[in-house]
Amino acid sequence: MTYETILVENPAPGVGLIRFNRPQALNALNGQMTGEAFSAMETFDADPSIGCIVLTGSDRAFAAGADIKQMEDTDVIKMMSGSDFTDWSRMVRVRKPIIAAVSGWALGGGCELAMMCDMIVASETAKFGQPEVKIGIMPGAGGTQRLTHAVGKAIAMEVMLGDRNLTAQEALQYGLVNRVYPVENYLDETIKLAGKVAGMPQVAVRLIKETVNKAYEFGLSQALDYEKRNFYLLFGTEDKAEGMKAFIEKRAPQWKNR
């Protein structure tokens, strides 16, 4: 498939990389770019040779938010009737792990897209913010919930109401990001991490992603039941048999992803 606003690569075995590519607009997220990014994610999700997806932008901007020039002439009816711009739930349906590699601006929808990923690796220059209030709106793609879950109410309120951006170090301290690296190597380190995830048995990886995410949706006892069922399910896989046998025989496992 050919894309106009994103670049797609396979930088390492098992790793699919999607790069936002509207540098002139600091990767402002218009409908075309989000639509292409979601399509590329779905293509990687369906590709058995890919085990982990990396989503990135440029060193200067992961994404400076939804495209304000596109939103400017959008009204409530257009928003409610749905479009490439509004259907971001496509990303939540991707079953393989997605790691955001964030450098520079991750604002508004950019911050929200990073938080929709399963892990975030940041460069030292990353800045996370939800400045929507400054243009008369509010976060609408998960920011009020995911940021609050990640950093707590006090900091989340300050970010959303007081226009405070979090630096990479603050984001690390508050648990929003996994790791911080110099801008020169944050992407390589993300690809390495993605390669490790891609090298794990994929059925277990998918069930872990699915089950961890239930921590945000279910109450504890329902989530623990869900976990137990998925745990039992893995005892029906060839990879469980191979993983345990390989451990006992002191050799590396050969995963079949079945």
Residues designated catalytic: 66, 109, 112, 132
* Residue 28 binding ligand DAK, by CB under 6 A: yes
- Of the pair 37, 200, the CB lying nearest ligand DAK is at 37
- Of the pair 171, 194, the CB lying nearest ligand DAK is at 171
Query: How many CA atoms, within 13 angstroms, populate the side-chain half-sphere of residue 255?
Result: 14
Name residues contacting ligand DAK, limited to 212-251 (CB under 6 A).
none
Name residues contacting ligand DAK, limited to 71-130 (CB under 6 A).
86, 88, 105, 107-109
Smallest distance, ligand DAK to C-beta of residue 159, A:
12
258: tokens are 């079945």
* Residue 64 binding ligand DAK, by CB under 6 A: yes
Window contacting ligand DAK (CB under 6 A); options: 63-71, 179-187, 201-209, 241-249? 63-71
**Radius of gyration from C-alpha coordinates of the chain:** 19
How many residues touch ligand DAK (CB under 6 A)? 20
Within 10 Å of residue 10's Cβ, how many Cβ atoms?
Answer: 13
Smallest distance, ligand DAK to C-beta of residue 173, A:
22
How would you class 203 by CB atoms within 10 Å of its CB: exposed for 0-12, middle for 13-18, buried for 19 or more? buried
Phi first, then psi: what are they for 245, rounded to 5°?
A: -65, -45
Residues 6+ apart with CB under 8 A from 180: 121, 122, 123, 124, 126, 168, 169, 171, 172, 186
Q: How far apart are CA 62 and CA 214, in angstroms?
A: 27
* Residue 140 binding ligand DAK, by CB under 6 A: yes
- Of the pair 44, 88, the CB lying nearest ligand DAK is at 88
- Give contact residues for ligand DAK (rule: CB under 6 A): 25-26, 28, 64-69, 86, 88, 105, 107-109, 131-132, 135, 140-141
